[in-house]
Amino acid sequence: MKNLFLILFAISNLLCADINAQELMKYQQPKEYEMPPKLIPTARKYWVSLPKDYDEKKNSYPIVFLFDGNEAYLRNLILFDIDQLTDLGEIPPCIIVGIMQRNRALDFGPLYAVKSNPNSAKVNGDKFFDFIKQELLPELQKNYRTQNFKIGIGHSLGGLFLLNSFTKDPDFFNGIIAVSPALEMNRDSTLFSNVKKTLHSKINKQTFFCWASGTEGINEVAFRPASKVLGKLLADGPNPSFKYKYIDLPGKNHNGTPFYSMIDAFGFIFNDWNIANWYRPLFDNKVEPEIYLAERRKLMKKLYDFDKDPTEDRILANIGSQFLQQQKYQKALSYIQNALVVNPNDSDYYKELSVAFEKLKNYEAALASIKKAIDKLDKTEQEYQYFLGELQKDEKRILTAISK
């Protein structure tokens, strides 16, 4: 029911306004860039949307690659869904990259499918994938704090491209969302054979593959049979490092399938990350914080290759808060200080740090921390005056303790 609500809410918003006219809650508006021609003989434009607080923190983030990033409805959909799901704590904050296509058939078409085109020697799906790996990704890694985890999102020919890319390098994308992939049984027999071989080989990282198809319109009628065959192929060739999910969308047409599949696809990929669910036992004091955190980190490394969580500062600060409640003030101090290394601009963290110092009777450090908390308060916050008054009460109490 919650997913249905989010889908309907997303559609209503996207029909009413352009995402650029809306205020994203958790992300910056996209900025456009261009890569000069090198591996492929044309300059390529792309846009990047960063987490809104990217410049205030030192967290590192997974990358979401959206193909057909020049299509307004796809750009709006992805930005809106990721923004909402990030705000709900169901997926981690990401770096979103939209890639603009010049000739979709050539950019996305495997060489076997486009070789009759006179330009196919210069541009084809295989070469375009090399461009992503060898040029665009290094550029992103140079300019931004990235994690190793990468998701590719493609619709129609973009879905075909992602499936073909998986067979070329199964360890590149950790997550693939192929919506209504333009698969045809006769033309793509080579691709099906390559998928089968890849599934029977060693895949070195956990890979999540999600695809969808509808039933209405000429495109879905043409592509759906091959999507069904793909499902059987995946079921017959299980690989412990490959998880998959098929989203069946009866009654939906080709252009509508992205709206109805994206939330489920992200939920499938990040089901085990879901930080909102993870916090509940921690906040209810049902677990030992350090053991609970160690178990999570081990799982996150295995599934998502995260050395540190994209919300590392919040996790550390919340572990510290639990230790404050348990009156383990020295442990609390360590975690909160580490949270501030990642995010040195959070007023609440300095407030918690002050509490830990005060409980340890280090009043000078407590006073310095509460002053920092006051300095870092967001003056545009509606309840700024209230929070300021509360912190000033803390400051007065600490000054009294110092004067004794």
The set of residues, in sequence order, having a beta carbon less than 8 Å from that of 115 and lying 6+ positions away, is: 124
Q: Are 259 and 77 in contact (CB under 8 A)?
A: yes
Measured at the CA of 348, the angle between CA 343 and CA 351, to 5 degrees, comes to: 115
Rounded Cα–Cα distance for residues 365 and 261 (Å): 51
Considering the domain 2-269 in this protein, what is its CATH number?
Answer: 3.40.50.1820
Rounded Cα–Cα distance for residues 134 and 98 (Å): 17
pLDDT, position 15: 44
Q: How many CA atoms lie within 13 A of 17 on its CB side?
A: 11
Rounded Cα–Cα distance for residues 266 and 81 (Å): 9
Measured at the CA of 181, the angle between CA 180 and CA 185, to 5 degrees, comes to: 120
Please identify which residue in the block is written with the tokens 């990401």. 94
Could you give phi then psi for residue 346, rounded to 5 degrees? Answer: -100, 115
Q: Is the per-residue pLDDT at 17 higher than 50?
A: no
The percentage of the chain sitting over the pLDDT mark of 90, rounded to a whole number, equals: 85
Domain limits, the chain? 2-269, 275-403
pLDDT digits (tens, 9 = 90+) for 321-333: 999 999 999 999 9
95 forms beta bridges with 63
Rounded Cα–Cα distance for residues 160 and 109 (Å): 8
Rounded Cα–Cα distance for residues 84 and 299 (Å): 25
Q: Is the per-residue pLDDT at 139 higher than 50?
A: yes
Measured at the CA of 304, the angle between CA 303 and CA 305, to 5 degrees, comes to: 105
Given pLDDT bands bounded at 50, 70 and 90, which one contains residue 7? very low
Q: Is the per-residue pLDDT at 19 higher than 70?
A: no
Which of 109-118, 132-141, 245-254, 272-281 is least confident?
109-118
Q: What is the DSSP string of 319-374?
A: HHHHHHHTT-HHHHHHHHHHHHHH-TT-HHHHHHHHHHHHHTT-HHHHHHHHHHHH
Given pLDDT bands bounded at 50, 70 and 90, which one contains residue 22? low
Judge if pTM exceeds 0.85. Answer: yes
pLDDT digits (tens, 9 = 90+) for 71-127: 999 999 999 999 999 999 999 999 999 999 999 999 999 888 888 888 888 888 999
Q: Are 177 and 153 in contact (CB under 8 A)?
A: yes
Q: What is the mean pLDDT of residues 197-204?
A: 94
Given pLDDT bands bounded at 50, 70 and 90, which one contains residue 209? very high
Q: Is the per-residue pLDDT at 18 higher than 80?
A: no
pLDDT, position 206: 96
Q: Are 88 and 311 in contact (CB under 8 A)?
A: no
Q: Which CATH number fits domain 275-403: 3.40.1280.10, 1.10.10.10, 1.25.40.10, 3.40.50.10490?
A: 1.25.40.10
Q: Is the per-residue pLDDT at 9 higher than 70?
A: no
Which amino acid type is present at position 381? E
Q: Is the per-residue pLDDT at 12 higher than 50?
A: no
Given pLDDT bands bounded at 50, 70 and 90, which one contains residue 381? confident
